[in-house]
Structure 1
Amino acid sequence: MIEIRPGLSLDESEIVERFIRAAGPGGQNVNKVSTAVELRFDVRRSPSLPNEVAIRLMKLAGRRLTQDGVLVLTAMTHRTQERNRAEALERLVELVRKAAEPPPPPRKKTKPTLASKVRRVEAKVRRGGVKAGRGKVRHDD
């Protein structure tokens, strides 16, 4: 079991890993050894995730989600399978952690107070007076 937060964990049997050839660092080794990791997690059919968390996770996943509801993460920045595996798993855990946070409540609309309206109008009048004083100087003799 992979602990996401208290009360929420993923079963390791739900995660499918496949090793592919990487395009990243590794020199000639890149062409011979499959060090990159393609991690797949079926969000839609996962019994570990509550429904609202799964819905938020599918929204967060974006292009990484297939039409079948499978989240696909690819890690190929490191030279070894183990480090790429750990990175892919950490990215999955971080995504699920973000999805597990409930969204903030909607903002309540408020109206400006009478005092703030008065201050705004007074400031506009003051500013208008300053600008009016910038006109051409007239000599009334």
Structure 2
Amino acid sequence: MKVAELLKEVNYKFVRSSGPGGQNVNKVSSKVELYFDLKNSLALSEKEKSVLSTKLTNYISKDQLLILKCDSARSQHKNKDIVSKRLITLLKKALQKTAVRKKTKLPQKAVKKRLEQKKRNAEKKANRRDPLR
């Protein structure tokens, strides 16, 4: 995955932000919506596309567009930088291979301790029983 190529394929849409802010919110389109076409991307291989489409289903629309939004900062430029960085980290995290966990045996000491505890618990409960029954 080449970041420079990937960012060339991204489309940005600037929208008016919501929430408090008075005149700034009413006049300035500071909210940034990022659209990335997964299906037609040249920066990603077919294998990467399939992995991303399965792992990032919550971010992908029916048209295979990956959509991210940001309106945390007051300026359009900062929001654009934030959403671009968020896209890159999201893609890198999704493409990262998870390490396979090696199964390890439980130590003998732990097994012995568990069985002793189980035995003590059984004795405790046996002592609670009514001896006449």
Q: Output the TM-score relative to the length of structure 2.
A: 0.76
5+ residue gaps, structure 1: 1-7
Aligned with 1:49 (options 23, 44, 49)? 44
- On the 8 A contact 2:30/2:71 being kept in 1, the answer is yes
The answer on 1:127 being equivalent to 2:121 is yes
Q: What SS class does the counterpart of residue 35 from structure 2 fall into?
A: strand
Q: Output the TM-score relative to the length of structure 1.
A: 0.72
The CA deviation at 1:76 is 0.8
Q: 1:131 to 1:65 in 2, by over 3 A?
A: same
Q: Which has the higher strand share?
A: 1
Q: 1:120 to 1:93 in 2, by over 3 A?
A: same
Amino acid at match of 2:121: R
5+ residue gaps, structure 2: none
CA distance in 1 between partners of 2:73 and 2:19 (Å): 7
The CA deviation at 1:86 is 0.8
- On the 8 A contact 1:43/1:69 being kept in 2, the answer is yes
Query: Structure 1 vs Structure 2: percent identity of aligned residues?
Result: 35
- On the 8 A contact 2:10/2:36 being kept in 1, the answer is yes
Alignment of 1:65-76 (within 5 A): 65-76=60-71
Match of 2:24 in 1: 29
CA distance in 2 between partners of 1:50 and 1:102 (Å): 16
Q: 1:129 to 1:119 in 2, by over 3 A?
A: same
Question: Bigger radius of gyration, 1 or 2?
Answer: 1
Cα RMSD (Å):
3.0
- On the 8 A contact 1:53/1:99 being kept in 2, the answer is no
Amino acid at match of 1:124: K
